[in-house]
Structure 1
């Protein structure tokens, strides 16, 4: 496994990380023993950058990682997040970036994870009512206290990143980025490179769409959130978007790899500061993702892939109207 550097002196991590969200929620039934086996397998194969958040499974995802971390803490760079709150009987979603909540959230994450220091702590989403200077300034206090090693932001605009970076060095920015989510190319990808900030694409396989295994809603579990919270997977949008995977599959066949490997290799080719974190719950897809790191793409290959789904051509937003209000802030 090759390595790439996080920003702000956090050092090197595996060039491909592992997003752990789906092990606890959102993509149908979870299996704890299978997930733990997958975590062990990923580390054994050279993946040492793991991503979670306090909201995933309402804390259960962090708890899942605790026993794994207890066995391998010195081998792992661990990222978690705060800011998305789901409470009440309906688990209604709100964004809280206040200092009081952040302190409480950090302590709760440390307890669930069973560790003393979080390597990379993200503000998961931003509430515009709280100035970014206040949020980052409060997060920096966690670094001084030894509870956090480095700071990250998620789904922010170039202007917000610059304001934040002026307060305290930002190590990483996490945003959705793949062949079918190209909006980071509108500025944040380049701004991260300029400032020496790592860019961490989540859902680099288009939430599974770019694997070629989703052709209809029937290919997803009944309680899969993509059915109701991801407009790109709904009705006519999904049918229109199938042309993307058809073109990608045809090209991957010519390259002797899977569509997922080709899509992930394209993300990796966008810069040495780019560290994707594809999520999976099974060992077989760990091997497939790692294989993408060995693919050699020519400039012509990269250009051809970029033309398969140009920015703005995908049918449907990546979140509901409410969700889209909290990205690129």
Structure 2
């Protein structure tokens, strides 16, 4: 599988990583999923301390321990579970980041994290303090690089200007093209986008509208009504009839050079293999990319503007 460089870092990740959030808590099945990803040549694994109360980090760390020197592990910080583990609160303080990283390292069973990401954030956070924490962790060798996971335009702009982030993780798909507005600022600052949610909750998979939830059927998806969604998906299916919807969905994202990697989640070995095959598929031509853009909406983030 081809690799891309994340930002200005020395991290070269496969074009598809594994978003570990959906691997579940059945350790045996989760290990099968991670093993399948390794078999497909994937070297980039994304988790977070929030997922399954830290169990996700433990499973990922255990599975990757024999391959630690050849894989890239990314995790996240900022969301703190309460004692009852029935709710979490946001904490982007320097003291919390410096403390939480050690818990993540312990669960992952490693002495360094390749990419440490702020798991959200608002303009109310002290961004300078967050950067201080990350830079200290880099200096001390606990992390190699850092980034943010945020869809808020004003937060992205702030960190792009004030920090040495290498990545911004954003929800991005053919049906959610909101990140395209921010590709210029990322490119200007040599920051890579990590694209999550590439198949739009299954709507861009082979099952298409079979994956539509009751809410989507009633209210639509983002700024698509359900009727518009039906029309758009059927047109895509008709035009690209010789290729899988997965392939079109993932190749569209990878057609943008600011994207460092796409990280679809997977709850089965089959999904890992299907997504890996899609990423290895034929690249979209410039004309095909333009056609997809003409058929879909250039959505825009209406909140958290600068």
TM-score over 0.5 for the pair: yes
Aligned length: 300
Which residue, out of 259, 283, 295, partners 1:308? Answer: 295
Map of 1:278 onto structure 2:
264
Kindly indicate whether the alpha-carbon contact (under 8 Å) linking 1:8 and 1:150 is maintained by their aligned counterparts in 2: no
Q: CA deviation at 1:132?
A: 1.3
1:291 corresponds in structure 2 to: 277
In the alignment, the residues of structure 2 paired with residue 88 and residue 212 of structure 1 have an alpha-carbon distance, to the nearest angstrom, of 41
Displacement of 1:2: 0.6
Query: 1:264 Cα shift?
Result: 0.5
Between 1:192-201 and 1:272-281, the stretch displaced more is: 272-281
Match of 1:11 in 2: 11
Aligned to 2:67: 72
**How do 1:121-132 residues align onto structure 2 when only pairs under 5 Å count?**
121-132=116-127
Gapped regions of structure 1 (runs ≥ 5) = 25-29, 221-225, 318-323
| Residues 88 and 248 (structure 1), Cα distance of their counterparts in 2 relative to 1, 3 Å cut | farther
The aligned residue for residue 184 of structure 1 is 179
The match for 2:169 is 174
How many angstroms does 1:165 deviate by?
A: 4.4
RMSD: 2.5
Q: Is the 8 A contact 2:76 2:118 kept in 1?
A: yes
| TM-score, normalised by the number of residues in structure 2 | 0.88
Which of 102, 108, 120 is the aligned partner of 1:107? 102
Structure 2's unaligned 5+ residue stretches are none
Partner deviation per Cα, 1:202-225 (whole Å, 9 max, x = no partner):
111112221042535xx58xxxxx
**SS of residue paired to 1:211:** coil
Q: Structure 1 residue 91 and structure 2 residue 79: aligned?
A: no
Structure 2 Cα separation of the partners of residues 90 and 120 of structure 1: 26
